[in-house]
Amino acid sequence: MAGAKEIRTQIGSIKNTSKITKAMEMVAASKMRKAQNRMAATRPYAEKMRKVIGHLFHAHPEYKHTFMIEREVKRVGYIIVSSDRGLCGGLNNNLFRKLVKELKEHRDAGTEVEFCTIGNKALGFFGRFGGNIVSQATHLGDMPHIEDLIGTVKVMLDAYAEGKIDRIYIAYNSFVNTMTQSPTFEQLVPIPSTMEEELKHHWDYIYEPDSKEVLDNLLGRYVESLVYQAVVENGACEQSARMVAMKSASDNAKNLIDELQLIYNKARQAAITQEISEIVGGAAAV
Amino acid sequence: MAMTIHVDIVSAEGEIFSGVAEMVYAPAVMGEVGIAPRHTPLVTQLKPGEVRVDTGSGKDIQHFYVSGGILEIQPHVVTVLADTAIRAADLDEAAAQEAKRRAEEAMADRSAEFEYAKAQSELAEAVAQLRAIERIRKGKRG
């Protein structure tokens, strides 16, 4: 039987760990609520933006923006949204694993890939993975601001406008519910033409000052808002994944402690029994 | 019954206003535009300033400060995609003054072309904020 003292210290250390995981669980739970609210708050903007872009596809702008034109794909760009910190279960790894599978297909097809990483984890992973990281943003905190992302996204969009990249995807975890987050890939630009609905009649907007400037501005903002939404959603995913991971860690710790406590009690009992029988035996011998 | 137009004002960080109005005024880059119901479709950029929503029927005109953005007009819907739009009444005048002072300081120190351009836009924003606050004050007194 292992020494009672060793078991006692082991129980002590597990107890300490479980205190930490319990605290992290509670912190994550409260942050999750906030992150979910933020996610809900950003939704109207994204919806309106989508509507306006939808109208634009309805209309017939005399100026075709590069974001609206499909071209042959030789190089693709990926904007990868991840968390800054770990201890959130398989959240980042699931995303990366699915992404690596996609990347392999690109490699087999002979297309080159460039990355733009948001969050520490993606930066670390794709740094090791051996890709070309053109831009990155880390330490966005719990309250990401769109200003923090504009620069990062612009690098990608500029590369697209210059023809260095022919297609840009975004990879992030979309929030299904507290227990489920699903890794999602979406095509950012060229803007998927599935948004084109049936055309009712021929019309166009009046553009002020002119269509080129307005469209440049609008489509840039559209992409930014999509990326921003992805970041906010990924933030909510991170917190809920962490909460679940920490909850299961606390539960495991509790089970371990129960088991060890049982072993400890048995060992203690055995020691006492042995001592008594020794005393009794000794007394009988006298 | 007077004709109305639906107005949505949203920013990336939340919804600001949604409702019907008789008239909407917005600071477009080429000058202020007034939008009545059944306006022709139009898209334009906004410059820092205030968006006024006249809800009609003798109610107050509502003011919203925007620091730029996009305005989209459909015959019955006006959408303002604001960069930052906070309720004008909530604007902190001290903060606006501070921003203006900082911007002016930076203007005086034209060390870099980039900083000058940034400062100029900051100044334009601060001035627009102050104007919005003044107008609200006058409206309250009057």
Chain segment A89-107, per-residue pLDDT in tens? 889 999 999 999 999 998 8
Please indicate whether, in this complex, the C-beta atoms of B70 and A146 are within 8 angstroms of each other.
no
| Rg, chain B, Cα only | 16
Q: Who's near B5: CB < 8 A, 6+ residues apart? A: B20, B21, B22, B24, B35, B36, B37, B38, B39, B76, B77, B78
- From A87, A116, A85, A84, select the one nearest A99 (Cα to Cα): A116
> pLDDT confidence of A193, banded at 50, 70, 90?
low
Distances (CA, A) of A246 to A241, A253, B60: 8, 10, 51
3-state DSSP helix/strand/coil % of chain B, to nearest 5:
35, 40, 25
- From A78, A108, A109, A111, select the one nearest A96 (Cα to Cα): A78
Most B CBs within 10 A among A56, A218, A227, hence the mutation to make, goes to: A218
**Residue B26 to chain A, least CA–CA distance (Å):** 13
In whole angstroms, give the CA distance from residue A280 to residue A225. Answer: 82
* Helix, strand or coil, per DSSP, at residue A113: strand
In whole angstroms, give the CA distance from residue A37 to residue B18. Answer: 19
- From A182, A171, A179, select the one nearest A230 (Cα to Cα): A171
pTM of the full predicted structure? 0.80
Could you read off the pLDDT of A2-60 as tens digits, one per residue? 578 889 999 999 999 999 999 999 999 999 999 999 999 888 888 888 888 888 877 76
pLDDT per residue rounded down to tens, chain B (142 residues): 568 899 999 987 788 889 899 999 999 988 899 999 989 888 898 888 889 998 877 677 888 888 888 899 988 899 998 876 444 445 556 555 655 666 566 556 555 555 666 677 777 777 777 787 777 777 765 4
Residues in chain A whose beta carbon is closer than 8 A to a beta carbon of chain B? Answer: 38, 41-42, 44-45, 48-49, 51-52, 55-56, 59, 146, 203-209, 213-214, 217-218, 221, 225, 228
Please indicate whether, in this complex, the C-beta atoms of B72 and A204 are within 8 angstroms of each other.
no
- In this complex, which of B15, B41, B81 lies closest to A221 when CB atoms are compared? B81
The first and second tokens of residue B106, run together, are: 């930076």
Instruction: Classify residue B75 by its DSSP letter.
Output: T
Q: Residue A80 half-sphere exposure, CB side, CA atoms within 13 Å?
A: 38
Residues of chain B in contact with residue A34, where contact means CB-CB under 8 angstroms, are none
**Residue B79 to chain A, least CA–CA distance (Å):** 7
Q: Where are the beta strands (DSSP E) in A2-129?
A: 75-81, 112-118
Instruction: Classify residue A165 by its DSSP letter.
Output: -
First to last CA, chain A: 30
